Amino acid sequence: MEQNKGILIREAHFPGKAPIEAYGNGGFRFADMSHKGSILCLPSGVHGWKVQPVWPVEIEDLSPIIAEKAEIEFLLVGTGKELMPIPRAMRVMLKEHGLSADPMSTGAAVRTYNVLLAEERRVAAALIAVDEA
């Protein structure tokens, strides 16, 4: 007889590109689903992003973006409720990998991401969750 192993929790991942339908209340809605916390919208899909809802994030938090850099033409960084500059160390690291990032508030990043995605551009977004839209 098989034993009950309990609930299996998997890393949050939606394997496709999807526009962001809504943001706020500490999360995002996309593809008729919701996710609590920050997200990475990459060519491989939408991934949960384990960063605190504060800026700056750590350089290692960007490793999933670096892994898919060949498929990214535009990298948008939603820095939270307010626009925050990307720290110099992160800009340098991204540039070393052939990427440049456009920081903006999370709301502006969501709107820009949706437009570029609709235009079928090679866009990625690192979106820090905000409590209020």
Question: Which tens digit of pLDDT belongs to each residue from 50-82?
Answer: 886 666 677 788 899 999 999 999 999 999 999
Look up the pTM and report it.
Answer: 0.86
- For tokens 């999933």, the residue is 64
31 vs 102: CA distance, rounded Å: 25
Q: Specify the range with the lowest mean pLDDT, choosing from 27-36, 85-94, 122-131.
A: 85-94
Question: Which tens digit of pLDDT belongs to each residue from 13-63?
Answer: 677 899 999 999 999 999 988 999 999 999 999 999 988 666 667 778 889
CATH architecture for residues 37-127: 3-Layer(aba) Sandwich (3.40)
